[in-house]
A = this chain, B = another copy of it.
C-alpha cells in the first residue's frame, strides 16, 4: 500500500477480531519499527508484545479501562530509553520521545498497509503499566496500541485546512 494511501485510510480502531496475526505479517510490521531512524542512530527503544489474555486485560485496565484493547490478539507497549538517547535535541530536550514516536508511527503505517488496525493509546497510568510489564525505573513508556484485524470501519476525523498549519518564511 502506498504511503499516502496508508496515511489516508488509517483510523483509530476500537473493535478487533480475535484472528491471530500471521508471523510474516507481524514480521514486516516489526521490520518497519526496526528500520526507524533516530537521533545519532541510537535506536533508544524497546517494544513489548503482550499476548497473554490476563495480562492484556490488566494492561487495558491500566489504560483507564479501555477494555477494547484486550480484544486484539496483541497489545504493543512502546518504551523509550532516555539514558541511551541524544540529550541535546534543539539544545533543550532529550530525543527519546521523538525517536520512539518515529518507530511507533512506522508500526502504525505498516500495520495499516497489512490490513491491521491500531489505536495509539496516550491515556494510561505509566507507573501501573511499568509495574505490569517489569519496565525498569529509568525507562519510560511512551504509548501503547492494540494490534489486530479491525472489526469496525470508523469514518475519517476532521483535520485543519493547510492554511492553518502551514506558513511561509515566518511562523
Interface set of A (CB-CB < 8 Å, partner B)? 1-4, 6-8, 10, 12, 28, 30-37, 39, 41, 43, 45-52, 55, 79, 86, 88-93, 95, 97-98, 101-102, 105-106, 109-110, 112-113, 120, 122-126, 129, 133-136, 139-143, 157-162, 165-171
Can you name the residue of chain B whose Cβ is closest to the Cβ of A48? B167
Most B CB contacts (10 A, CB to CB) among A105, A112, A136 go to A105
Chain A to chain B contacts (Cβ below 8 Å), 5 pairs: A2-B3, A43-B159, A48-B167, A50-B168, A88-B123
Please name the 5 residue pairs, one residue from A and one from B, whose CB atoms are nearest each other, closest first: A101-B101, A90-B126, A89-B122, A3-B113, A97-B97
Given contacts A97-B101, A120-B37, A133-B171, contact A28 B4 (CB under 8 A): yes
User: Which chain B residues lie closer than 8 Å to A139 at the CB level?
Assistant: 171
The 8 Å CB contact of A51, one of B43, B51, B105, B169, is B169
A135, chain B: closest CB distance, angstroms: 5
Smallest CB gap from A156: residue in B:
B35
Once the chains are docked, how many angstroms separate the CA of A28 from the CA of B3? 10
Q: A37-B10, A98-B122 are contacts. A48–B170 as well, Cβ < 8 Å? A: yes
